Amino acid sequence: MYQTLLTALENNILVITINRPDKLNAINNLLMTELGLAIDEALANAEVRSVILTGAGVKAFAAGADISELNGSREEGMAIAKKGLDVFFKIERSPKPIVAAVNGFALGGGCELAMACHFRVASENARFGQPEVNLGLVPGYGGTQRLTQLIGKGRAMELLMTGAVIDAATALQYGLANHVYPQDELLDKTKELLQLINTKAPLAVAWVIAAANAVHDEQKNGYEIEAKAFGDCFATADMQEGKSAFLEKRKPVFTGK
């Protein structure tokens, strides 16, 4: 179905794998287009409760943008950035959890893709960085913003200006990665996390995402969004089920209604 992606749905978890291992899964124009389509399909498919993004092979999640495509005019450069921003905002704002399983290099656009996900789980050989300054560029898909949000201004400024690459242990220390596992355990451990999240009320999870995203959106009041979401939960069957299950000392069965 896709030329640059592999998809597999199991136990309500859709695994989207960037499949350009010969290019270290570099992000080209076609891959960006197909990634946007794959996210759209995941959001439209009721069987999909959550999504994992990862890379093919054991070397790279996505080792940046495809440098061979970075040419043309200022306007063409801005168009490339806008397309990437649109796709990455779609990931960040997804009401369904989207988690990056970072299985190797996540550099440049690959690091930006990982940061657009709701959180990141890394393999021990994972490497993160925004080395665009080495090419006379800056990140174009939100890297300056999300890296600063995730690890703080001082650390982000240093990484962005030096183009330095950090290892998985440092990413964990900085808060860029939530967990680090051996390469052969990465996907299973990430699935375990999402299987747990999938047992929670889908509408509540979606509202958590929306409210948490509002922290860094100057156009929104996160406290108001949270209060409204709290009230909206009262009108759901899942809230009644959760309350009944708690009182009856049993596990809830949520339906997303």
Say how far apart CA 94 and CA 117 lie, in whole Å.
9
Classify the C-alpha dihedral 75-80-85-90 as positive or negative. positive
102 closest CA partner among 178, 39, 175: 178
Q: What is the DSSP string of 147-162?
A: HHHHH-HHHHHHHHHH
Token pair in block for residue 130: 């925004």
Q: Which amino acid is at 229?
A: A
Which is the catalytic residue, given 34, 47, 132, 192? Answer: 132
Say how far apart CA 77 and CA 30 lie, in whole Å.
16
Q: Residues 117, 98: contact at Cβ < 8 Å?
A: yes
Confirm whether 132 is a catalytic residue: yes
Computed on alpha carbons and rounded to an integer, the radius of gyration of the chain in Å comes to 19
- Beta partners for 55? 18
145 closest CA partner among 157, 129, 136: 157
Residues counted in the chain = 257
Angle between helices 109-116 and 143-151 (to 10 degrees): 60
Token pair in block for residue 89: 């905002």
Confirm whether 112 is a catalytic residue: yes
**Beta sheet of 50-55, edge-to-edge order:** 5-10, 13-18, 50-55, 98-102, 119-123, 179-181
Which is the catalytic residue, given 75, 112, 192, 248? Answer: 112
Active site residues: 112, 132
